[in-house]
Chain A
Amino acid sequence: MATDVLVVGGGAAGIAAAVVAARSGCSVTLIDSSPTVGGQYYRGAEPPDSGSGLSYEALRRAFDELVDAARIDRRLHTYAYALERRDGGFLLRTRGDDRHRGDVGEVEASAVVIATGAFDRQLPFPGWTLPGVMSGGGAQALVKGSGVLPGQRIVVAGTGPFLLAVAHALISAGGNVAAVVEANDPLGLARHTRSVLPAAGKSADLARFLAALAKKRVPYLRRHRVRRATGNGRLESVTVSRVGDDWQAIPGTERLLECDALAIGYGFTAQTDLAGQVGARMRIGSDDGLAIEVDARQRTSVDGLLAAGETTGIGGVDLARMEGLIAGVAAVEHCGRRAALSERAIDRGMRDVVKLRGFADALHATFPVRDGWRDDVDDTTLVCRCEEVSAAKVRSAVNDLGARDARSVKLLTRAGMGWCQGRVCAPAVDGLCGFDSAASLIGGSYRPVAVPVPLGAIASDRMSP
């Protein structure tokens, strides 16, 4: 049975798109891999009775009501693994969660909204495979999703304002945060007043996070970088140094921070796999990461395929929600209906998208990734954690075997060939090898199967009557 609008991902963007489409009279199916909607930021938290209009809280309440009224078919614990064109529309192939990965299914749709979010970008360093080292998003998921702190004494590190959000979530839950280690200089944001002032609400969030840190006397170590992690079988400490403009460590500034958890991330990588499978055009975002190219109405280069949220360029949860609204409108129009959102509201939404995108660009300019991280990656440091490929092997593929792109490195070393399909190591391989990341990112991002599926499940599904 076909649906008018299929939304992949139930975060802020997906919820907004689904609500607009359902209110406009379209049949809507929304799938999400988690047991709840809400995405990485809001997670399953029940929406408070506050917020009106197009706020997240109001949209989330509307979403729940539309699910209860059977106007949105919400499918949780469901992974999308392949998207295809089919009869002028789309066919999405799905599977169940890891306990039910043989439960394969299909959804046919006229329009598809890709709202699959992003995950933390990692850069390798000695000791980064020690248990206790995890992504900022992983630490946030533990504390917000399961009510568990990642450790007794936690260091938050990497770059970007998300570090402050993670530290704030940990502190709010009673966590002991030893330090927030920021490789860039956040004061650089002051240079971007034209982008920052219109998004005053976003700056207020940052100020609130900083105030929470100051209240708990948590040091915010600016222009500092984690250089290695040490411990016997699990994390016991990290070494940080002050860094220069290119993130090169400044001699004599090394300092040891004892900790049993490190929450680290250097920005984000968008989940663009499904759009790539149907040939949607990609672009390189202002954070040097891959993003799905969209027009002002969130339309991709593929007719009927919309994208919203982090998949179109990392920009945070408020931008995601506004893009979701616009994508919902475009999906409705693709189905030949009129959107149940006034022209004024649509215009305002599109203006908000421009404003919030400008703020995101200012953040990306303030919190870039600089090359100095490579200096600490010694020969034994693993680059590809799945296939356990060392930096020595990756460098040798370039220096001794003549590899000139990430695909050749992968074929020569197996870096990127494991379970995660290169999602984690791609930025590291490009950085260490000095590849043009734009070409490499676009070339290396095609994944015909977005999540592993048991062959037996596909075979039995295809043979069943």
Chain B
Amino acid sequence: MSDKAAKRPGSAGSTAAPAEFSFDGTPYRAIEGQTIAAALIEHGIVAWRRTRVNDQPRGILCGIGVCFDCLITVNGEPNVRACMARVEPGDDVRSQEGTGYGD
């Protein structure tokens, strides 16, 4: 098994290119190739959706694209799986309320 060393925020030694993105208007830095979920978790953000019925916070559950619990709005497009979508430079990422369509 080849475990890639995990890097905590601001840790040295990473050679991957950084990617700037924003979450609810605040700028953050990710490493290119990281998922949106991973980039947010690295910055201590573990919830980015509130549920439709009970208005409860959610983050990742399955983490591999199956459960759709981690839905988030990216560049105006709601219901993107944060665990699968990779950060792209300049992404405008927003937490999602319910269905994400303002209904």
A90 to chain B, nearest CB (A): 23
Residues of A within 8 A of B3 (CB): 143-144, 168-169, 172-173
Q: How many angstroms between the C-alpha atoms of A45 and B3 in the bound complex?
A: 8
Known: A131-B46, A148-B42. A99 touches B59 (CB 8 A): no
Q: How many angstroms between the C-alpha atoms of A388 and B31 in the bound complex?
A: 34
Is A141 touching B63 in the complex (CB atoms < 8 A)? yes
B53 to chain A, nearest CB (A): 4
**B12, CB-defined interface residue at 8 Å:** no
B84 to chain A, nearest CB (A): 6
Known: A99-B85, A119-B66, A173-B6. A145 touches B58 (CB 8 A): no
Chain B residue with the shortest CB-CB distance to A174: B6
In the complex, which residues 380-404 of chain A have their Cβ closer than 8 Å to any Cβ of chain B?
A: 385-388
Is A173 touching B85 in the complex (CB atoms < 8 A)? no
Secondary structure of the A contact surface, majority rule: loop
Contact among A99, A134, A234, A420 for B68, CB-based, below 8 A: A420
Is B64 touching A418 in the complex (CB atoms < 8 A)? no
Contact among B4, B41, B80, B88 for A144, CB-based, below 8 A: B4
* Chain A interface residue bracket vs B: 35 or more
**A40, CB-defined interface residue at 8 Å:** yes
B52 to chain A, nearest CB (A): 7
Q: How many angstroms between the C-alpha atoms of A150 and B85 in the bound complex?
A: 17
Contact among A44, A169, A388 for B1, CB-based, below 8 A: A169
Known: A134-B63, A147-B4. A98 touches B57 (CB 8 A): no
Is B34 touching A148 in the complex (CB atoms < 8 A)? yes
**A201, CB-defined interface residue at 8 Å:** no
Is B6 touching A234 in the complex (CB atoms < 8 A)? no
Known: A98-B84, A99-B77. A138 touches B5 (CB 8 A): no
Question: Taking each of A122, A150, A165, which has the highest tally of chain B beta carbons within 10 Å of its own beta carbon?
Answer: A150
Is B63 touching A149 in the complex (CB atoms < 8 A)? no
In the complex, which residues 89-103 of chain A have their Cβ closer than 8 Å to any Cβ of chain B?
A: 97-99
Is B38 touching A174 in the complex (CB atoms < 8 A)? no
Q: How many angstroms between the C-alpha atoms of A119 and B65 in the bound complex?
A: 9
Chain B residue with the shortest CB-CB distance to A165: B1
Residues of A within 8 A of B46 (CB): 131-132, 151, 234-235, 260
Is B8 touching A146 in the complex (CB atoms < 8 A)? no
Is B85 touching A138 in the complex (CB atoms < 8 A)? no
Question: Taking each of B2, B47, B51, B77, which has the highest tally of chain A beta carbons within 10 Å of its own beta carbon?
Answer: B2
Contact among B31, B68, B77 for A386, CB-based, below 8 A: B68
Chain A residue with the shortest CB-CB distance to B34: A146
Contact among B38, B68, B81 for A148, CB-based, below 8 A: B38
Q: How many angstroms between the C-alpha atoms of A174 and B12 in the bound complex?
A: 14
A59 to chain B, nearest CB (A): 15
Residues of A within 8 A of B69 (CB): 385-386, 420
Is A129 touching B56 in the complex (CB atoms < 8 A)? yes
Chain B residue with the shortest CB-CB distance to A173: B6
B45 to chain A, nearest CB (A): 9
Chain B residue with the shortest CB-CB distance to A42: B2
Chain B residue with the shortest CB-CB distance to A423: B66
**A289, CB-defined interface residue at 8 Å:** no
Chain A residue with the shortest CB-CB distance to B49: A131
Known: A99-B80, A147-B5, A174-B5. A137 touches B64 (CB 8 A): yes
Known: A147-B31, A148-B38, A385-B67. A98 touches B6 (CB 8 A): no
Interface string of A32-64 (1 = CB under 8 A from B): 011100001110110010000000000000000
Residues of A within 8 A of B86 (CB): 35
Contacts A135-B62, A174-B5, A419-B71 known; 20 new A-B pairs at CB < 8 A: A45-B2, A45-B4, A97-B84, A98-B74, A99-B74, A99-B77, A134-B59, A134-B61, A134-B62, A135-B63, A142-B38, A143-B4, A145-B38, A146-B34, A148-B41, A169-B1, A169-B3, A172-B3, A260-B46, A386-B69
For this complex, 30 residue pairs linking A to B, each with C-beta atoms less than 8 Å apart, are: A34-B84, A41-B1, A98-B80, A98-B84, A99-B85, A131-B46, A134-B61, A134-B62, A135-B63, A145-B35, A145-B38, A146-B34, A146-B35, A146-B39, A147-B4, A147-B5, A147-B7, A147-B14, A149-B8, A168-B3, A172-B3, A174-B6, A174-B8, A385-B67, A386-B68, A388-B52, A418-B68, A420-B66, A420-B67, A424-B66
Top 3 A-B residue pairs of the complex, sorted by shortest distance between their CB atoms: A138-B63, A146-B38, A173-B6
